[in-house]
Amino acid sequence: MKKKLFSAIQPSGGVTIGHYIGILKKWFLVQKKYNCFYCIADLHSYTNNFKKKKKYILDILSIILALDIDYKKNIIFLQSHIYEHTQLYWLFNCCSYIGELKRMTQFKQKSKKNKFINCGLFTYPILMAADILLYNSNYVIIGQDQVQHLEFTCNIAKRINKLFSKKIFFLPNCIFSSCSKVMSLLNPKKKMSTSDINKFNVIYLLDNLDLVTTKINNSFTDSDVPAKIIFDMVKKPGISNLLNILSNISDISILDLENKFIGYSYKEFKKIVINKLINFLKLLQKRFFFFRKKEKFLKKILLEGKRKAKIEAKKNMFFIKKLFFDI
């Protein structure tokens, strides 16, 4: 039997090269090895705004398909289609401490930025724990900013196992913990983020290709003379970020790239990054538009995902409910 893997992505508007490298590429890589639950976390995205999500959901689904993530072999589904997520979320609310949620770095950062701090933002990690534990997942794929939320998930699992003196939940393990964080182009000390007001910091998978060229050309490097194309996140964050992007889209190791680019100027290096990126995005966008036009087909995929995810969710929730409720 294949082990279960859960991962999710929010339909929060643009999908960036950071989402690709941090999450979606990994979805593609592991799809044969595990029994994968790939969730479009629309409920999580309401913590940001109440915009209608349909467009974003269908956009992200089309990107998933464009990346060759198999909708027949994997369970690709919408979080809000499976009510059990919110049911379990409630039970987990009652097993979580305000103090541990207050310590979440992402909450602290977001509550500094946002004027309106909604409760969803605060309890967000509990819903994430419910997503993962509902399917009793052995593995998860998460972005680096979600590590603390995964620790919280494990704590909830341990707490409930202890409460009922039974191994109800597995403790989920993270796969791919290596560096895959993509940084902002103009400020490579900061993570690339869709909430950035300066769009020149971010590369969207659906960006116009001329714009991508401008963005890479404008990206921050450093003033080393002669140019040194080596990976060093601390001393050379800009060059390291471009190397990381190039390595991920060309599937060449950073070490091999460093060797290849000995003696190159930053301008020549950027030209190659642009070339590879444009080729990658061109194909991806072509495939994206092919799927995006077929709304009926996309909705059918979500319904099929719902059917399959529901079977597992219902089965596990039935078991959990029996423990919590005696009626």
Q: Which residue carries 């103090």 as its tokens?
A: 99
Binding mask 123-142 for ligand TRP (x = CB under 6 A): -----x--xx-------x-x
Query: Between β-strands 173-174 and 35-40, what pairing exists: parallel, antiparallel or unpaired?
Result: unpaired
| Burial class of 201 by CB neighbour count within 10 A (0 to 12, 13 to 18, 19+) | buried
Could you tell me the sign of the dihedral formed by the alpha carbons of 259, 264, 265, 268, in that order? Answer: negative
Please identify, among the stretches 7-15, 47-55, 158-166, 287-295, the one whose residues bind ligand TRP according to the rule CB under 6 A: 7-15
Smallest gap from Cβ 38 to ligand TRP, in A, equals 10
For residues 295 and 58, is the Cβ–Cβ distance under 8 A?
Answer: yes
When binding is defined by CB under 6 A, the residue of 8, 40, 156, 257 that contacts ligand TRP is 8
Quick one: 61 or 274, whose CB is closer to ligand TRP?
61
Quick one: 7 or 184, whose CB is closer to ligand TRP?
7
Contact between 104 and ligand TRP (CB under 6 A)?
no
| Per-position DSSP letters for 191-247, written without gaps between them | B--TT-S-GGG--BTTS-HHHHHHHHHHS-----SS-----BTTTBHHHHHHHHHHH
Quick one: 41 or 317, whose CB is closer to ligand TRP?
41
* Cα Dmax for the chain: 74
Quick one: 132 or 257, whose CB is closer to ligand TRP?
132
Quick one: 109 or 208, whose CB is closer to ligand TRP?
109
For residues 126 and 96, is the Cβ–Cβ distance under 8 A?
Answer: yes
For residues 216 and 274, is the Cβ–Cβ distance under 8 A?
Answer: yes
For residues 305 and 71, is the Cβ–Cβ distance under 8 A?
Answer: yes
Quick one: 62 or 146, whose CB is closer to ligand TRP?
146
Smallest gap from Cβ 180 to ligand TRP, in A, equals 13
Quick one: 89 or 261, whose CB is closer to ligand TRP?
89
**Cβ of 89: how many Cβ atoms within 10 Å?**
18
Contact between 10 and ligand TRP (CB under 6 A)?
yes
Spatial distance between the Cα atoms of 303 and 120, rounded to a whole number of angstroms: 26
Smallest gap from Cβ 22 to ligand TRP, in A, equals 8
Give how many residues touch ligand TRP by CB under 6 A. Answer: 13
Chain centroid to CA 26: 9
Contact between 212 and ligand TRP (CB under 6 A)?
no
Instruction: For the chain, give the number of residues.
Output: 327
Rounded to the nearest 10 degrees, what angle do helices 54-66 and 266-292 cross at? 110
When binding is defined by CB under 6 A, the residue of 13, 18, 143, 237 that contacts ligand TRP is 143
Spatial distance between the Cα atoms of 263 and 229, rounded to a whole number of angstroms: 8
The residue sitting closest to ligand TRP, measured at its beta carbon, is 8
Question: Across-strand partners of 317?
Answer: none
Binding mask 248-287 for ligand TRP (x = CB under 6 A): ----------------------------------------
User: What part of residues 75-94 is at the interface with ligand TRP (CB under 6 A)?
Assistant: none
Smallest gap from Cβ 6 to ligand TRP, in A, equals 6
Binding mask 32-71 for ligand TRP (x = CB under 6 A): ---------x--x---------------------------
Smallest gap from Cβ 75 to ligand TRP, in A, equals 14
Give the interface with ligand TRP as residue ranges (CB under 6 A): 6-8, 10, 41, 44, 128, 131-132, 140, 142-143, 146
